[in-house]
Amino acid sequence: MVSTRTPGSPAEGNPHAGQPFSDDDAAIAAALEDVSVPALLCSLVHLTGDPSWIRSGLRPVLSMLNDYQCGMTPEAKAEARRNALPAIAAFRDGGCVLPPPPSNELVHEMMSFLAAAPVPTDVVPMFLEDLHLDGSDGGAVTWGAEIAPDARAAAHVVVIGCGEAGLLAGIRLRQAGIPFTVVEKNAGPGGTWWDNRYPGARVDIGSHFYCYSFEPADHWTEYFSQHTELRAYFDRVMRKYGVDEHCRFRTEVTAANFDDATGRWSVHLRNDDGSTEVLDARAVISAVGALNQPNLPVLEGAESFAGPSFHSARWDHSVDYRGKNLALIGAGASGFQIAPTVADEVATLTVFQRTAQWVFPNANYHRQVPDGDRWAMRHLPFYGRWFRFLTFYPGAGLTIENSRIDPDFDDSDGLAINERNLMTRGIFSQWMVDQLGDREDLVAKVIPNYPVTAKRMLQDNGSWLAGLRKPNVELVRTEIERIVEDGIVTTDGTFYPADIICYATGFRHNDYLWPMEITGRQGVVLRDQWGHEPTAYLGITIPNFPNLFCLYGPGTNLAHGGSLIFQSECQMSYVMDALHELFAHGHQTLEPKPEVHDAYSDRYQSEIAQMVWAHWSVTHSHYKNPDGRIFTLSPWPIPQYWSWTKAVDPDDYVFT
Ligand code: NAP
């Protein structure tokens, strides 16, 4: 397997094999100071063909999310760097020629080396696919003559949305030679990263994993990129793969109707100028996201507020907040990024937080990728791939059992769901207390009274609590009673002056595909079928809605690891297999058998109800529906979902 570069050939053809370099020893030594030493040691195995790099005492101590050095001591790292320099110099002097690639067994050993523990054999194929060590895109679609050109030509697919998932759908459909249109209401690609431009908006999955697996990732300037860089990334990828030619921006899908007679969809569009239009489609892929439609709370007097007010995902950049009194309502993942970013620029910042949030430490959260690490990603063979593995593995959901409620654990105080969860509460609470020093008033406000991980976890390098400590910042945990012309009044009668209000109040997570009107077979309306309980087989296909596929659909949001881009790659691989099944066998439509869908939904409910996110102590959570049940999150280990979405089982479907 593994390398398209034959021994003795130059570094060509494999985008992950590293670009040849001629830097002098001093420059290389300087770069090595910036790298992840564990990933470097794996790269050296490729570069020298010698597995002893990962068989010495210089090895990772533990695999922990966002610790790129895996607990190695400074001495061990220094020695590894010293050893690496002559090997890299020799590689350079030899013309950057790679030896034969490592065997699959050795690659597995490298995974276990970075994981600091044996990686179970059954999950190796998933990581192997994600690593793309052979330089090919394993998910690339290569349909053959089994699908006649006229069948492809008649197979127009409409993709709704051009965020990361819609863009991926475009890439795969183009590879398959299927005519398609991506309809996007925004003026450009990026989805959530197009919408969310608030100060401080950045991703909180490591950027080297929060990107397409098949694309090199040596360009990121921060370990956790900000919205501008993410937008630029999606724009670049869109153009590179020629998806832009198929995109209709500033166009909104308002409805989609399935026609029983023709077996095709009519997709209703509203253009930017208000005109309407209907597209005919053989299949529809919804890639509209799940955290997309702002949730604006109903607060008494909101309309009486005299100053500007806006939702965090609709940040009004024409409003100059500097020197003003800013009221921030909501402090989940968005508000918690906004507060520390604007704190020094506003006169006062009042943060109204209904529920305290768990935050865990991440020293790399605001860190630039140093030049040396970027050099290594660009030049050291497969270093970037192993860095990706390092980012993926600890968050691969292999520890999902930690999220399960222990029925024998006394959770009557609502503070923890099992012993480990209780221990984690202690660690995270102490970390917060340590940052707050003498501010006991804040300690009482910021430590949540529900189990760790039960709501969306936040991570930070200390910016959030440092922001709250500032003299012009106040954290208010008392409920809002009403909004008045010049501020906000809480239920204890306190008035907080405000010139501007930002509603960082989240999204309508449970209202999948809203506000589109989707009508399926025999006039079934999707919203009626779902009510408050949206379900889809594997989160992708829905009975009564033939040839409709959801990306990031019900039950697929991730709270236990992975990345939504990885999740989309799984789902798109499944969707393409479903389309192949349709076209290759001359079927008109497919939809999941009701019994298959129902059995999956039952299994889903029984599983999710045992997990921390469903815990009774969590009263406010966008994961829960109005009845307190969960239809949003995936309870499945990530490798399991990966294997379920590898291929469609025709027995699960009704074909016409
Ligand atoms: P969120 O996590 O749902 O937080 C909304 C905030 O508004 C919470 O503090 C919530 O309080 C409060 N709120 C909602 N309705 C309210 C009401 N009626 N009265 C008072 N307070 C109210 O929303 P978000 O911060 O926009 O994040 C949503 C999701 O987007 C995240 O879970 C995450 O998946 C994603 N996101 C990711 C990133 C990132 O990757 N860095 C950044 C931003 C968002 P309660 O907690 O009491 O409900």
Q: What is the DSSP string of 234-265?
A: HHHHHHHTT-GGGEE-S-EEEEEEEETTTTEE
Q: How confident is the model at residue 4 (pLDDT cuts 50, 70, 90)?
A: very low
Do 348 and 212 belong to one domain? no
Instruction: Measure the CA–CA gap between 532 and 284, rounded to whole angstroms.
Output: 23
Do 251 and 321 belong to one domain? no
Tell me the per-residue pLDDT of 496-516, one tens digit each, with 9 for 90 and over.
999 999 999 999 999 999 999
Question: Which pLDDT belongs to residue 10?
Answer: 36
Instruction: Measure the CA–CA gap between 279 and 246, rounded to whole angstroms.
Output: 13
Q: Judge if the upstream peptide bond of residue 199 is cis by omega within 30 degrees of 0.
A: no
Q: Is the CB of 101 under 6 A from ligand 1?
A: no
From the alpha carbon of 503, which atom of ligand 1 is closest? 7
Residue 610 placed within a domain: yes
Measured in Å, residue 355 CA sits from the centre of ligand 1 at: 10
Tell me the per-residue pLDDT of 388-399, one tens digit each, with 9 for 90 and over.
999 999 988 888
Do 595 and 521 belong to one domain? yes
The arithmetic mean of pLDDT across residues 555-563, rounded, is 95
The arithmetic mean of pLDDT across residues 147-164, rounded, is 94
Between the alpha carbon of residue 445 and those of residues 131, 440, 607, 626, the distances in Å are 43, 9, 32, 26
The arithmetic mean of pLDDT across residues 241-260, rounded, is 98
Tell me the per-residue pLDDT of 356-412, one tens digit each, with 9 for 90 and over.
999 999 999 999 999 999 999 999 999 999 999 999 999 888 889 999 999 999 999
Do 455 and 565 belong to one domain? no
Q: Is the pLDDT of residue 6 over 70?
A: no
Q: Is the CB of 353 under 6 A from ligand 1?
A: yes
Measured in Å, residue 231 CA sits from the centre of ligand 1 at: 21
List the residue whose alpha carbon is closest to atom 24 of ligand 1: 506
Do 170 and 282 belong to one domain? yes
Q: Is the CB of 331 under 6 A from ligand 1?
A: yes
Residue 19 placed within a domain: no
Last residue of a domain, one of 466, 487, 503: 503
Do 424 and 327 belong to one domain? yes
From the alpha carbon of 619, which atom of ligand 1 is closest? 47
Q: What is the pTM of this model?
A: 0.96
Counting residues of the chain whose pLDDT is more than 70, the rounded percentage is: 98
Q: Is the CB of 622 under 6 A from ligand 1?
A: yes
Measured in Å, residue 103 CA sits from the centre of ligand 1 at: 46
Residue 532 placed within a domain: yes
Do 344 and 459 belong to one domain? yes
Give me the chain's average pLDDT, please.
96
Tell me the per-residue pLDDT of 96-130, one tens digit each, with 9 for 90 and over.
999 999 999 999 999 999 999 999 999 999 999 99
The arithmetic mean of pLDDT across residues 462-484, rounded, is 97
Q: Is the CB of 283 under 6 A from ligand 1?
A: no
Measured in Å, residue 333 CA sits from the centre of ligand 1 at: 6
Amino acid at 386: W
Measured in Å, residue 294 CA sits from the centre of ligand 1 at: 10
Q: Is the CB of 362 under 6 A from ligand 1?
A: no
Last residue of a domain, one of 479, 503, 527: 503
List the residue whose alpha carbon is closest to atom 5 of ligand 1: 505
Last residue of a domain, one of 470, 503, 536: 503
Q: Is the CB of 203 under 6 A from ligand 1?
A: yes
Q: Is the CB of 330 under 6 A from ligand 1?
A: yes
Q: Is the CB of 506 under 6 A from ligand 1?
A: yes
Do 436 and 543 belong to one domain? no
Do 52 and 184 belong to one domain? no
Question: Which pLDDT belongs to residue 398?
Answer: 86
Do 119 and 209 belong to one domain? no
The arithmetic mean of pLDDT across residues 2-13, rounded, is 41
Each residue of 389-428: b (16+ CB within 10 Å) or e?
bbbbbbbbbbebeebebbeeeebeeebbbbebbbebbeeb
Q: Let me know the angle formed at the C-alpha of 627 by 624 and 630, rounded to the nearest 5 degrees.
A: 35
Q: Is the pLDDT of residue 7 over 70?
A: no
From the alpha carbon of 621, which atom of ligand 1 is closest? 48
Residue 13 placed within a domain: no
Do 74 and 200 belong to one domain? no
Tokens of 73: 């001591």
Residues in the chain: 656
Residue 402 placed within a domain: no
Tell me the per-residue pLDDT of 27-61, one tens digit each, with 9 for 90 and over.
999 999 999 999 999 999 999 999 999 999 999 99
Residue 192 placed within a domain: yes
Q: Is the CB of 354 under 6 A from ligand 1?
A: yes
Q: Is the pLDDT of residue 266 over 90?
A: yes
Q: Is the pLDDT of residue 170 over 50?
A: yes
Question: Which residues form the domain of 564?
Answer: 144-293+509-655
Question: Which pLDDT belongs to residue 12?
Answer: 58
Domain count, the chain: 3
Counting residues of the chain whose pLDDT is more than 90, the rounded percentage is: 94
The arithmetic mean of pLDDT across residues 556-568, rounded, is 96
Amino acid at 35: V
Residue 400 placed within a domain: no
Measured in Å, residue 628 CA sits from the centre of ligand 1 at: 17
Q: Is the CB of 297 under 6 A from ligand 1?
A: yes
Each residue of 87-116: b (16+ CB within 10 Å) or e?
ebeebbeeebebbebbeeebbbbbbbbbbb
Q: Is the CB of 335 under 6 A from ligand 1?
A: yes
Do 414 and 433 belong to one domain? yes
The best mutation among 164, 311, 354 to test binding of ligand 1, ranked by most ligand atoms within 8 Å of the C-beta, falls on 354
List the residue whose alpha carbon is closest to atom 4 of ligand 1: 332
Question: Which pLDDT belongs to residue 137?
Answer: 86
Under a CB-based contact definition with an 8 Å cutoff, are residues 331 and 355 in contact? Answer: no
**Domain holding 492: CATH number?**
3.50.50.60
Residue 286 placed within a domain: yes
Measured in Å, residue 456 CA sits from the centre of ligand 1 at: 9
Q: Is the pLDDT of residue 2 over 70?
A: no
